[in-house]
Amino acid sequence: MRSRQRMFAAVMRLLLKCLRLGRRRRFRLLRQLEQLWHYGHLCLRSLLYNSFTNGDVVLDSLFEPVYWLVDHVTRWFGVVFVALVIGLTSSIVAIVYICLLPLILQTYTPAWICWHLAYGHWNLIMIVFHYYMAITTSPGHPPQAKNDLTGVSICRKCIAPKPARTHHCSICNRCVLKMDHHCPWLNNCVGHYNHRYFFSFCLFMTMGCIYCSISGWDMFRDAYAAIERMKLLEKERLQVAANQTYYQTPPPTFTFRQRAFHKSVVYLWVLCSSVALALGALTLWHAALITRGETSIERHINRKERQRLQKKGKVFRNPYSYGSWDNWKVFLGVDVPRHWLTRVLLPSPHLPHGTGLSWDLPPCVTEQRAPLLAI
């Protein structure tokens, strides 16, 4: 009897011991898994943690593939956009010379003929000159020799000193002096040395489109009515032809030349009106920026700086603004009154004020102001 009790007690002790060992092993396994989880979480945070991370940084990181795609598409399709501008402009000029100019010479008075010939050719020359200069002129880049270059900051892409008002273009993969934006229609950056050419092209192209739209309004109405009349007569002709034999089919009411003429006039007016609205809005936007003495990039920078200083009770002042009138004189390079004719109303390849590396006071500015560094 005692031997059975002893055996039973031994079995129970062995069973309890096995249970204790299993529980310890299970707790040890859970503890190890918890330690591995905390260690992996710590490693992940150590790789991704940044004290400057905020919602904007996360949003930029998420859109980085989109930016990469846009940059590469813009880089490779720039030539296509330039060819498109040249092709559309050439088509409008061809329609004016082939279709509209003979009609003007036959129906208009000598005074109006002289006006159209003088203004139309002057506007065309200004468009062609400024577009060619905007494409072929380099916007300006910081020099490769970095010894004598005074930089306000360091470019994170080029790892080089970056002068005031200079920004890195991800499409050109270079820093651009006084960068405004990368224009796909120019296949070039708009910067210090070609900013005036870009704005002048937008201005004169808008003026030319408005001129064509206003001058061709009556012709557009007549051409549109003629096209509608052609469609109606064509429908009636087909209905009559369905009930007659082939040799009894009446000839077309309008010739091919008449059809081409009317459709060309409608094409000219619609294209010029659309471009005038779109490009006119862009031109007004850049005119407002020039009036404030800032570029498209600097507008966003100055707005954030203005909000930051406003919270502190301070007033922001753009260090590159010399007043509305002087800003235009600096931008256009008008030093003396005759420059309004020779440098603004006539084609002029003159260089802008300064080198784009430093921003001293231009000679045409009346208000003396100490030069400041970029914000």
At position 82, the amino acid (one-letter code) is V
The strand pairing partners of 150, in sequence order, are none
178, 172 Cβ separation under 8 angstroms: no
The active-site residue, picked from 169, 183, 189, 272, is 183
Do the bridges between strand 181-183 and strand 188-190 make them parallel or antiparallel, or are there none, so unpaired? Answer: antiparallel
Torsion (CA) 335, 341, 345, 346 in degrees, nearest 10: -100
Q: Show the 3-state SS of 157-168.
A: CCCCEECCCCEE
Closest CA to 273 of 224, 343, 321, 327: 224
Query: What's phi and psi for 168, nearest 5 deg?
Result: -90, 130
Q: How far is CA 13 from the centre of its chain?
A: 83
41 burial class (0-12, 13-18, 19+ CB within 10 angstroms)? Answer: exposed
177, 142 Cβ separation under 8 angstroms: yes
How many C-beta atoms lie closer than 10 Å to residue 207's C-beta?
17
Does the annotation count 183 as an active-site position?
yes
- DSSP conformational letter for 246: G
Kindly list the catalytic residues.
Answer: 183
